[in-house]
Amino acid sequence: GPLAKAGGMTGGRDIGVVLNYKNDSGATGLPVYGGVGSQYTPITGCSQANRYYQNILLNEEYSGAICVSHGGEASAATNGFWSALTNSTTIGLPQLFFIEDNGYGISVPSSTQYPEGDIAKNLASFGNLKVYDVDGTDPLSLAQALLEAIQYLREQACGPVLFRSRVPRICGHTFQDNQSYKSEAERLDDEQRDPIDKLKSFVVGKFATELQWKNLEALAMTRVEQAYMEACSRPDPDAQSVYQYLFSSDDAVIFSDSFTKTPELQDGKAKISVLGAIRKTLDTELLRDSSVLVLGEDVGVKGGVHTATLGLQKKYGKLRVADTNLSEEGIIGRAVGMAVCGLKPVAEIQFRKYADPAAEQLHDCGMLRWRTENKFSSPIVVRMPVGFARRGDLWHAECKEAEWIHSLGWKVFFPSDAADAAGLLRYAIHANDPVIFLEHRALLDEAWSKSPWPGDNYVLEPGKARKVLQGNDITVVTWGAMTKMCFEAAAEMQASIDLIDLRTLVPWDKDEVIASVKNTGKCLVVHEDTLTLGFGSEICAVLADECFEYLDAPLKRLAVNDIPIPHSSALFSEVMPSKNDVVNKITELLSY
């Protein structure tokens, strides 16, 4: 791993200290995170999954199971640590927080991280938390305390254990770190507390002779040298392998006999709203598959702030439709851990802006399959209401879909009607990849977006655009709430407009768009993200590459001006594309 050679834990995809260990016959080493503190909430999710398997799925193999999260003392100051600790103590999970405390976060002393630099003392009165504070250089007291902590967690825990192991840091954080920030007295004290020397003092005379110890040292050095030479002799990873495993290659579970790509016959059927379709799909899948669960702030008794989960907790219970505390990092991080353990969590983030505290977990989740060479994955669904409703504001009305498109490893869905919402959400729940499922607030109960229920088994394959209108004069590409706006603009014009609703942005239907533009020679892309570096820029770049000789007008975009979404109706109308803006842009292109 450190040499980035073929055959390492990550196949050269990640730095050597970031490892993983898939083990079906014993303890599994979950993927180590490069972001300090980001390891804690996924481990809390794994611990919660163990309880779910035992209490909901009635699998006794999980009785006494515990999860261990490792970190240095500086990591105990991060958002991830506090979110995991709060969740683990509140729910009462058997999680061991093993903190290796060497007094420094690179060069910053632990007294800068929390009061007096003593995390054990700082957490002594934390509810439902058992605290151990031990000398990590004393082999006997360390082993005894650790065995006691593990036994407590397995047999009687009503919450986690914080295990602080005090150890020296004899070398620097990296090989370039000479620890010049430490005093001579500190460095001398570290050397005197060397755990290897203290282990030798404990073993020699009681369990082994001096000669036997020296032979063990020599054997260890020989094994290290041999392993190093073997690693050096390994080839570099195959360069083409870098393209593998960003996404799963297996959609068989989706398109099996249980599901259909064809909606039920719709003649005479009552129409359902986007909101109703989301709620009905969640209900159907919770009933179909006991490994599906829903979590998020207010999703329980209240049924979500948009009522998408109304009534589901009463029907399926608090462990399957679970209210969470107000920590988006905790919501997503726990969902990641649950999915790693084989559950199918559907997490709700109330508004797009509220996803910001969870950005690290979201970005890490997308890379999980790739960076572990397909050993681990976390196919979670994140439902995220976006965009304006009756008016805008910068906290509740963002779309910003381009950010998730740029977050590698995620599929990004953005339906504009009820049937598409149902088919895509069902696909997302049973897919093998993580999915960001964007729900535009203006469409949730919009009459234009209502459609007949497509059936309990209907799935919509991503990357297949919908032709809203068929035409030959100009191609208009859009998604989300802009689909309705473009449709209404087209209704006021005499032009023959080819209106394409992408429905999914990762993957997006390049073939359909390219074929249309080759036919019409003109293209307008309309979206609600900002103009600069919005996804429309990518679409236009692809069309410039693929359709240049077919164009008879410049490629045009219509999007939100590069301004945060304002609350005033007058200001909102200024920055948001309108129906008249669409009409004017189409007219401009047609007259080119």
Catalytic residues, which ones?
Answer: 396
Please classify residue 210 by burial: count the beta carbons closer than 10 Å to its beta carbon, then call 0-12 exposed, 13-18 middle and 19+ buried: exposed
Helix H, strand E, coil C: the string for 271-328 is EECHHHHHHHHHHHHHHHCCCEEEEECCCCCCCCCCCCCCCHHHHHCCCCEEECCCCH
Cis check: omega of the bond before 357, within 30 degrees of 0: no
DSSP 562: S
- Give the start-end residues of each E strand in 376-418: 381-386, 411-413
In the chain the first and final C-alpha atoms are separated, in Å, by 58
Please give the Cα distance from 123 to 109 (Å, whole number): 18
Please give the Cα distance from 110 to 118 (Å, whole number): 7
Establish how many alpha carbons lie within 13 A of residue 573's alpha carbon, considering only the half-sphere containing its beta carbon: 5
- Report DSSP letters for 127-192, one per residue: TT-EEEEEETT-HHHHHHHHHHHHHHHHHT-SS-EEEEEE----S-SSTT---TTS-HHHHHHHHH
Signed CA dihedral, 6, 248, 439, 478: sign only: positive
* Cα distances (angstroms) measured from residue 417 to each of 350, 421, 459, 576: 20, 6, 14, 21
Q: What angle do CA 379, 384, 386 make, to 5 degrees?
A: 145
Query: Which of these, 411, 329, 412, 408, lies nearest to 367 by C-alpha position?
Result: 408
* Cα distances (angstroms) measured from residue 571 to each of 391, 396, 530, 561, 565: 10, 16, 15, 11, 9
Dihedral, 117, 120, 123, 125 alpha carbons, nearest 10: -130
Mapped onto helix, strand or coil, the DSSP state of residue 565 is: coil
Q: Would you say 369 and 376 are in contact if contact means Cβ atoms under 8 Å apart?
A: yes
AA identity, residue 139:
P
